[in-house]
Amino acid sequence: MNATTTDVLIIGGGQAGLATGYYLHKNGIPFIIVDTQSRVGNSWRNRYDSLVLFTPREYSDLPGFSFPGYRDQFPTKNETADYLENYAAKFDFPIQLNTTVNKVIKNNDFFRIWSNQDQYIAKNVIIATGPFQRKRIPSFASKISTGVKQLHSSVYKNPDQLLQGETLIVGGGNSGAQIAVEVSMRHKVFLSVSQLPVFLPIKLAGKSIFYWFDRLGILRASAQSFIGRKIQTRPDPIIGLELKPLIKSSRVQLMPRAIDAAQSSIHFLDGSVKEFANIIWCTGFELDYNWLNIPEALYNENGSIIHKRGITTVNGLYIVGMPWQSRRTSALIGGVDEDAKYIVNSIIENGPASMK
């Protein structure tokens, strides 16, 4: 099979890959974006039906193209997906969909990439797959009876998927909180958390909480700053107050951390045991770089690639769109801009990347 050559191959066609493509396009650097999805924006379309961003449109722009609509309104998941698709179309980015990268090696100064569709040779590779790669579900979930409906948050769509009966949601992040509110309208909900959630209003004095974060300098705080280091040591707050009164009224009942299971029962840290008809695992994701066959690449204990603001230890290998890559908003739609620009400038500074 003949290999397609390009200066830069971007792996991942979400917001991070698209923002990086914008700056490559702006600087006249040839590139190709590959993505496993069949349509740009599907990583958003495929999430639960009621999902609404907690960042308003004014804080959800990609470079060069504003998010349409009223700037202080919060977009739905489908509006976000359509925005990404329209963004790629506006700049006519070279995107190859339905393409899963299976292997990447480095041979001297070039990378060779194998996928289910084509092979590629590139001077630079930018990993823009983001933090949501492989579902994280605790190993004890395998002990649970097949009569219990188990879903990970990535495949949960709406309460119609659930069986009649009590529902356990494991994980107290923003997805867990939003799903708990929705499911509680039709089921008795129990929410298993490691620590009590901290709530912030989505709006304060008529302005988005992100407006106030911006005013306070939190959005611009670097990962190494005093504010940045402080924030990183604390769990993310729940944006929005909808869950708070439901907990107070016991419509959603908090449970300690789930630690084990047997048949339809879940065992909790405090020694309690309870049966459930449904379990929704809002337990996040794990990183998966099994396809990256480059021994020189270094990893942290959590499996993330070691980098300095997206520049890895391997010449020509970059990463964009990871949490706290340079600041609090690095993994958000409105925050990938600065990191993408920084990486493209680094590629330019390293000299011509011509594959011709």
Between 68 and 330, where is the model more confident? 68
pLDDT in tens, 52-107: 999 999 999 999 999 999 999 999 999 999 999 999 999 999 999 999 999 999 99
- What is the torsion angle, in degrees rounded to the nearest 10, for the CA atoms of residue 339, residue 343, residue 348 and residue 354? -130
Predicted local distance difference test score (pLDDT) of residue 1: 64
200 and 177 Cβ atoms separated by less than 8 Å: no
Question: 144 with 293: CB under 8 angstroms?
Answer: no
Tokens standing for residue 285: 């994701």
* Distance of alpha carbon 167 from alpha carbon 253, whole angstroms: 10
Q: Residue 133's pLDDT is what?
A: 82
- Rounded mean pLDDT, 23-46: 97
Res 238 pLDDT > 50: yes
User: For residue 50, what are its two tokens?
Assistant: 């009621």
Q: What confidence tier does 356 reach under pLDDT thresholds 50, 70, 90?
A: very low
Where does 38-97 show beta strands of DSSP type E?
Answer: 95-96
> Using CA atoms, how far apart are residues 35 and 25, in angstroms rounded to an integer?
18
Q: Is the pLDDT of residue 354 over 80?
A: no
pLDDT band at 276, cuts 50/70/90? very high
Q: Virtual CA dihedral for 287, 290, 336, 181, nearest 10 degrees?
A: -30
Torsions phi, psi for 24 (to 5 deg):
-65, -45
| Cβ burial 235-248 (10 Å sphere, 16+ → b, else e) | eeebbbeebbebbe
- Average pLDDT (111-125) is 96
pLDDT of residue 352: 47
The conformation of residue 76, written as its DSSP 8-state character, comes to B
Residue 333 C-beta-side C-alpha neighbours within 13 Å: 28
Question: How large is the average pLDDT for residues 217-224?
Answer: 83
* Contact residues for 229 (Cβ-Cβ < 8 A; gap 6+): 223
Whether 167 contacts 276, CB under 8 Å: yes
Percent of the chain at pLDDT exceeding 70 = 98
Tell me the two tokens of residue 112: 């060779």
Mean pLDDT throughout 260-268? 95
Inter-residue contact 127 to 9 (CB < 8 Å): no
pTM: 0.92
* For the chain, the helix, strand and coil percentages under 3-state DSSP, each to the nearest 5: 25, 30, 45
Q: SS3 for 285-329, per residue? A: EECCCCCECCCCCCECCCCCECEECCEECCCCEEECCCCCCCECC
Predicted confidence (pLDDT) per residue in 8-22, tens digit? 999 999 999 999 999
Buried b (16+ CB within 10 A) or exposed e, 272-303: eebebbbbbbbbbeebebeebebeebeeeeee
